[in-house]
A = this chain, B = another copy of it.
Amino acid sequence: MDRLANIRVVLVRPLYGGNVGSVCRAMMNMGLHDLVIAEPRPEFNTFDAVKWSYRAREIWDRHRTFDSLAAAVGDCRLVAGTSVREGLYRQHSRTPRAWAPQLLAAAGEGPVALVFGPEDNGLSNEDIAYCTHLIRIPSTEAYSSLNLSHAVMVCAYELFVAAEAYTPPAEASPPATAELRERMFGMWREALLEIGFMEPPKADHMMLALRRIWARGELTEIDTRIMMGIARQMQWYAQTHGAR
């Protein structure tokens, strides 16, 4: 069951085609596909929407329009509206991260709406009345008005992350074992003595410094073998070119 497939992005009376195109990109980046425009404006620039949707054109091509917000969310069990205003009846808003688990759980059962208002004024009180939940995206107090596609991106991103739909890239090489690291340090000790970087009485001390430097981040097996190769080459170079 793909819970993200049940998340519907509802744009109410959007003004700019470019923003709606960018919303398509954000949705496709984050695994959302169901775009709805409620109360479309006659002057809406669909050419801009197509242009800005870039390689997320399929989201735009499949979008639906409804004459009212009520119709757009009619089949949704949970309707989450976004708002930055904090007037009466908007105080129970929570961040997208706080709501994400509940939104996803509901999306496991049926359609869930994320509702975004027009660029200039946001959702009206009448729109808000249709919302069972209110989302407030964190922002500075000095400038709390997000671009429409940015607001969609933050909400979609939080749902995508909460859905654990993303697998981070795996480091191809496993961490080096202690045994391999010790072999590397042994080779460096010999090589550094060979090229005269340190004298035997100071060698232990210097090797502790190197151990400290190379322990700050975990070395992989490949990293360790690269460092061993350098030590080996230093020794070879010293033995073939050295003037001891």
Q: Which A residues are closer than 8 A to B by beta carbons?
A: 18, 22, 25-26, 28-31, 54-56, 86, 90-95, 97-98, 136-140, 142-147, 149-150, 153-154, 157, 160-161, 165-166, 168-172
CB-defined contacts of A172 to chain B, threshold 8 Å: 91
**CB < 8 Å neighbour of A30 from B18, B29, B139, B171:** B139
> Which residues of chain B are within 8 angstroms of A137 by Cβ–Cβ distance?
157
Residue in contact with A153 in the complex, picked from B30, B91, B153, CB distance below 8 Å: B153
Residues of B within 8 A of A30 (CB): 139-140
List residues of chain B with CB within 8 A of the CB of A149.
147, 150
Whole-angstrom distance between the alpha carbons of A153 and B157 in the complex?
A: 11
In the assembled complex, the CB of A153 is this many whole angstroms from the nearest CB of chain B, namely 5
A30 to B138, CA, bound (A): 8
Q: Please report the C-alpha to C-alpha distance between residue A144 and residue B147 in the assembled complex, in whole angstroms.
A: 21
CA distance A140 to B157 in the complex (A): 10
CA distance in complex: A172, B93 (Å): 12
* Cβ contact within 8 Å between B93 and A169: yes
